[in-house]
Homo-oligomer: A and B are copies of this chain.
C-alpha cells in the first residue's frame, strides 16, 4: 500500500476539536490558529497525513480533515438565516444542478446556497447570484473566495423585479420574500420546461406563490418540507436526540412551459400521483 496523502501549504483544511468545534482555514506557512483550547501552528499541520490527530500548545486534541461541502455550509460565516444542508441537498437534486449547469439564484444572502451551487456546477458551469444588498454580496464573495469558488459566480446587485440578465439558464432558485412578483421575469430567464424552485418560511407565502404560478402558467407545482432527525450514537442506547429543527422553510417547485403550452388543469393535477 502506498503512503497516505499529505497536506500541503495552501490547502483548505477543517480542524475539529474533540467536541466537534470546527475551524476552517487555509494552511499558510508561519501562521497560527488561536483557540480557547490553545494555539495550533500551521507549520505543524502541513506535510502530514490527512486525518491526523494533532495537539495544541496546551496538549488539547484536534483532528485535521479536508472540509466537505457539508462542513463548508455548516460553518459558513453568516449575517442572515441560511438554507440548511437538509434543504440544500434536496434542492441540488430537485433542480438538477450538476457539472456544467448555468444557474440563477436570488437572494444571495450570506452565500450558503451560492457556495453549494458553485460547488455543484463545477468549473464548466456558472452561477448568477442576485441581491439588492451590496453588503450581503460582499460577505458571500468573501465566503466563496475563502474556498476558491469565486470564479464560478457572477454577482448581480439588482432587484429581480427588474428582470434577469441571462436567458436559457438550466435552473432558477429564489430565496426572497415575494417570489410571486418575479414569475414573468423567471419565465424569460429559465429554459422552458426546466426546474424553478423557491424556499419560503410561511404557509401564507406558499398560497400566494401557488396562485401566481397558476396565473403565470408554471406547470407541475410541488410543495414539500424536509425534517431531519439526528440520533445519539450510542450503540446500546440508541435513540433520537431530544430536540430537533422543526422548520426552516417550505420548498416549492414548478416548471414554466413553452409559450402557449398551457399546463394541466388543476383538476388533473390534483389527481396526479405524488412523485
Contact = CB atoms under 8 A, between A and B. Distances in A.
Interface of A: 1-2, 4-5, 16, 18-21, 49-53, 61, 63-66, 68-71, 73-74, 85-86, 88-96, 98-100, 116, 119-124, 167-168, 188, 191-195, 201-204, 206-208, 210-211, 214, 219-247, 250, 255-262, 264-266, 268-275
A100 B223 CA distance: 32
Given A50-B258, A241-B246, A258-B51, A229 B224 contact: yes
Given A50-B194, A239-B203, A226 B227 contact: yes
The 10 closest A-B pairs by CB, nearest first: A51-B192, A99-B122, A51-B193, A68-B96, A89-B89, A244-B246, A240-B247, A53-B261, A89-B93, A20-B272
Given A63-B219, A241-B246, A246-B240, A258 B52 contact: yes
A210 B20 CA distance: 18
Nearest to A190: B51
A202 B206 CA distance: 13
A214, A231, A238, A247, most chain B CB atoms within 10 A: A231
Contact of A233 (B71, B93, B221, B234): B221
A221 B244 CA distance: 18
A269 B233 contact: yes
A123 B121 CA distance: 12
Contacts of A214: 235
5 contacts: A4-B191, A63-B193, A64-B193, A221-B233, A223-B231
A116 B96 CA distance: 10
Given A86-B226, A194-B66, A257-B53, A241 B274 contact: yes
A86 B226 CA distance: 8
Contact of A94 (B89, B123, B207, B223): B89
B255 A51 contact: yes
Nearest to A171: B68
Contacts of A228: 90, 224-227
Nearest to A238: B203
A45 to B, nearest CB: 12
B204 A207 contact: yes
Contacts of A195: 68, 70
A219 B275 CA distance: 36
